[in-house]
Amino acid sequence: MTRTSTTLRFALLLTVANGFLDAYTYLARGGVFANVQTANVIFFAINMSQGKVTSALAHVWPLLAFIAGVGLSSHLKSGRFDQHLKHPMRATMVLQAVVLFIIGFVPATVAHSYVTVPISFVAAMQIGLFRNIGDFVYLPVATTGNLMRLVEAGYTGYVDRDQTARQAFGTYAALTINFTIGATAGAFATRAWSVHAIWLPAAVLFVTLILFIVDERRGIEP
């Protein structure tokens, strides 16, 4: 039985929300990528080489939050928390949506780390918990890995004529397009509504919560 968290529709909602968040944090929250940690490592190195220690540290805190988020997701997947939390997957989506909703009230004058750190934390939980669409592996918070798999699947599917690879090609194409759409929407919305734009991806995450509830009532494993 297909689980809600491994469906393409669920993955597309996550990727569009995360594409939005990267544009949002870069434009409205100090030029930091709260989801993509590779960029933070590079910015940290560049700032340190220029002697900008304070700017460099701004990229460290999201990294540490990301590590903590991955650790917590590993604990949730281990099953050790099941006796305390009936629906851990659902609870994490609620947490993420609520965190983003609250951040929308935080003014731009507040230190950006107070915003980027919690976003990095919930993004890490997404990576730790949601990485599969059926048998296909993907990343909901970045597009590089998905783009690489897109090209590989396209080659295998259309050059080697592998039907499964063609299905993978369509899946990764949809993910890449959705991430791009999310980033584009994030850029326009952030320029229009500033810090309040984050309420849009928060709403998207609330929709994923609705999917869990609807599928459960239909007898589909959440």
The number of helices, as runs of H, and strands, as runs of E, in the chain is 9, 2
Q: What proportion of the chain, given as a percentage, has pLDDT over 70?
A: 95
Q: How sure is the predictor about 116, in pLDDT bands with cuts at 50, 70 and 90?
A: confident
Backbone angles phi, psi at 132, to 5 degrees: -130, 140
Nearest to 14 by CA among 217, 220, 207: 207
Residues paired with residue 132 on neighbouring β-strands, in sequence order: 137
Q: What is the pLDDT of residue 159?
A: 95
Least confident range from 52-56, 57-61, 78-82: namely: 78-82
Residues 49-53, mean pLDDT to the nearest whole number: 93
Residues paired with residue 136 on neighbouring β-strands, in sequence order: 133
Are 58 and 33 in contact by the 8 Å Cβ rule? The answer is: no
Q: How sure is the predictor about 34, in pLDDT bands with cuts at 50, 70 and 90?
A: confident
Q: Is the pTM of this model over 0.85?
A: yes
**Radius of gyration for the chain, computed over Cα atoms and rounded to the nearest angstrom:** 18
